[in-house]
Amino acid sequence: MKEGFRQSMAWLHTWSGLLVGWVLFMVFAAGTASYFKDEITFWMKPELHAVAQSPVPPLQAAEGAVAYLQKHGVGSPRWFINLPTERQPLTDVLFLATPASTAAPGDKPRRRFDRVSLDPATGEALTAARATRGGEFFYRLHFDLHYMPALWARWIVGFCAMFMLVAIFSGIVTHKRIFKDFFTFRPRKGQRSWLDAHNVTAVLALPYHLMITYTGLVTLMFMYMPWAPQAAYKDRGGEQAFFSEVFPGGGRDQVKASGNRVPLAPIAPMMAQASAHWNGAPVGRVTVHQPNDANAVVALTRAEGPQLSYDKPSMLFNGTTGALIGAYGDVPKPAAETRGVLYGLHIARFGDPLLRALFFLSGLAGCLMVATGLLLWAVKERQKFAKTLKQGGRVSIGLRLVDGLNLGAIAGLPVAMAAFFWANRLLPVGMAERGEAEIRWFFIVWGAAAVLGLLRPTLRMWQAQLAAGALLFVLLPVLNAFTGPAPLTVSLRAGPSAVAGFDLVAIALGLGLAGAVWIVERKRRKSMAARQQAEKKLPPSPQQPQQSSTLAPSGQGS
């Protein structure tokens, strides 16, 4: 640290942010969308927009789901029933389907979970709804990355999150006037403007950035640092014994079947007893282990509410008699409660729509913070090549690569996200593997944007990709009007509110991207005027081929 502590922190801040910035931008963008993943999923199933407009009591929805599973979930060792909520007005059931008889001789048949949406009023399957991963895709993408083993992906994201923490703390140390800079923005000043934008977006939501990064690591803490429970429970059953003791549920996830078929007890008395135990709070999830077996166990989990903790109390009942086995999680242990609160803060399921909107805006600020940081590095690095560029030369391969990655990540990702929604409405409803087809289109469009950005990282390409994203987002409500029963003119008056909210946010994002196009165009014209002015002042020289430079949004290329 020959240059001093603050200078060393500035170097650390720069490189810890740059090396993982492109992954972090995707994680922030997908994670921000996940705050409204239920609403996104609902918008992507237009066949359901006219269903369940009137609230249905949880008991009625649960009894309808159990009746459906008694017909279609026979042989499944577990039933999962997510009861309708204000955000998700349908009953969601999950069960292990009967294995297909296509396995090779000697191979163990593979079983898969079937997920079905039910009308909570009738308990009938809504088979007309198109298959889609919906908002769940973005939720999984921001820590599973798709198309790679989940374990590898979570280690990669955890590595990037740790770099993010280092970048945040080193940035705080580096900016000695951090709060003064928050109130300072100098437009049209080149590098100074990018630095001001980076400071404002960083400080504006600084508590959120610290919270979301740290709690993101906490959500997977037992994967990243499993040694404490492994050592403490080495002679007591290992990690499974630790989880059974610390977290609600009493360790009943692995219930063994007896082989004796016994009818399942009525669910209504169990739900009434559980709700009374929770002072009137409703049941949110019903899990039945080994249904219609003598050893059946029914687990009821309290519905989500204003409580910060992600971990919800549960009650277990004997599935054949309905007798209470035990209540878990009413008074969680301090360590479990701390982890549950941090996890709950990360996903913000406790918040009302306004609070989640504030989380959403903070997430957008995080995206801008990462984006402006990446662009700021490119702007500063380009100054080293100012003389070379004036003489018609090119920047270094490294800077050209960063320019291309910036373009593909920052401008290309919004295009891909919008294309995902367009694919949802334009692909045939009954096509096979439809959900995966939507995801493929997301990556195809994003891959094409990245390749184009690497081949030609110019201001014109920035404009083209930002304009494509703006157009696709702004026209989403029009697409919804032609492909669904609830256009914006209807949903604003009569609902569903989730559909109206999605359309309005899509318009806002599109207008934001259109504003970015205008900013890039203004910079392009300014840089062209400056270049023409400089060429007029230069003395006549032998004619030589003119080369186009590769630039970030603040450069001089076209």
Residue range 390-425, pLDDT digits in tens = 656 677 788 889 999 999 999 999 999 999 999 999
Element (H, E) at 373: helix 353-382
SS3 state of residue 323:
coil
What predicted TM-score, i.e. pTM, was given to this entire model? 0.85
Residue range 134-176, pLDDT digits in tens = 999 999 999 999 999 999 999 999 999 999 999 888 888 887 6
How many angstroms separate the CA atoms of 323 and 269, rounded?
10
Flag whether pLDDT at 537 surpasses 80: no
Task: Check residues 554 and 357 and name the one with the higher pLDDT.
Answer: 357
The mean pLDDT of the chain is 85
Whether residue 314 contacts residue 302, with contact meaning beta carbons closer than 8 Å, is answered with yes
Tokens, residue 498: 């989730």
Which residue stretches of 106-260 are H helix? 135-144, 150-174, 178-182, 191-204, 206-219, 221-224, 227-232, 239-246
Residue range 288-335, pLDDT digits in tens = 999 999 999 999 999 988 888 888 899 999 999 999 998 988 888 888
Residue range 420-454, pLDDT digits in tens = 999 999 999 988 889 999 999 999 999 999 999 99
**What average pLDDT does the segment 376-385 reach?**
79
Residue 238: predicted pLDDT: 77
Residue 391: predicted pLDDT: 59
Whether residue 516 contacts residue 466, with contact meaning beta carbons closer than 8 Å, is answered with yes
Residue 465: predicted pLDDT: 96
Cis peptide before 496 (omega within 30 of 0): yes
Largest CA distance in the chain: 98
How distant is the alpha carbon of residue 525 from its chain centre? 37
Residue 18: predicted pLDDT: 83
3-state helix, strand, coil in the chain (%, to 5): 60, 10, 35
How many angstroms separate the CA atoms of 283 and 312, rounded?
10
Residue range 89-122, pLDDT digits in tens = 889 999 987 654 444 455 555 556 788 889 898 8
What is the number of residues in the chain?
Answer: 558
Residue 290: predicted pLDDT: 92
How many angstroms separate the CA atoms of 141 and 87, rounded?
21
- The residue written with tokens 């270049």 in the block is 531
Element (H, E) at 81: strand 78-82
Task: Check residues 545 and 279 and name the one with the higher pLDDT.
Answer: 279
91 secondary structure, DSSP code = E
Give the lowest-confidence range in 191-205, 342-356, 479-493. Answer: 191-205
Whether residue 215 contacts residue 342, with contact meaning beta carbons closer than 8 Å, is answered with yes
How distant is the alpha carbon of residue 540 from its chain centre? 56
CB atoms within 10 A of CB 326: 11
Nearest Cα to Cα of residue 127 among 99, 86, 83, 90:
90
Kindly write down the DSSP assignment for every residue of 231-278, as one continuous string.
HHTTTTTSHHHHHHHHSTTTT-SSPPP-S-B-PPPPHHHHHHHHHHHT
Whether residue 377 contacts residue 410, with contact meaning beta carbons closer than 8 Å, is answered with no
How many angstroms separate the CA atoms of 130 and 135, rounded?
14
Whether residue 255 contacts residue 297, with contact meaning beta carbons closer than 8 Å, is answered with yes
Residue range 20-48, pLDDT digits in tens = 999 999 999 999 999 999 999 999 999 88
SS3 state of residue 79:
strand
Residue 521: predicted pLDDT: 85
How many angstroms separate the CA atoms of 447 and 453, rounded?
10
Nearest Cα to Cα of residue 505 among 300, 295, 356, 301:
356
How many angstroms separate the CA atoms of 184 and 178, rounded?
10
396 secondary structure, DSSP code = -
For the chain, the C-alpha Rg in angstroms (whole number) is 27
Nearest Cα to Cα of residue 65 among 107, 44, 93, 94:
93
Whether residue 309 contacts residue 340, with contact meaning beta carbons closer than 8 Å, is answered with yes
Q: Which residues pair with 125 in a beta bridge?
A: 118
Angle of helix 497-537 versus helix 476-483 axis, rounded to 10: 150
Residue 1: predicted pLDDT: 47
How many angstroms separate the CA atoms of 434 and 427, rounded?
8
Tokens, residue 69: 């599973």
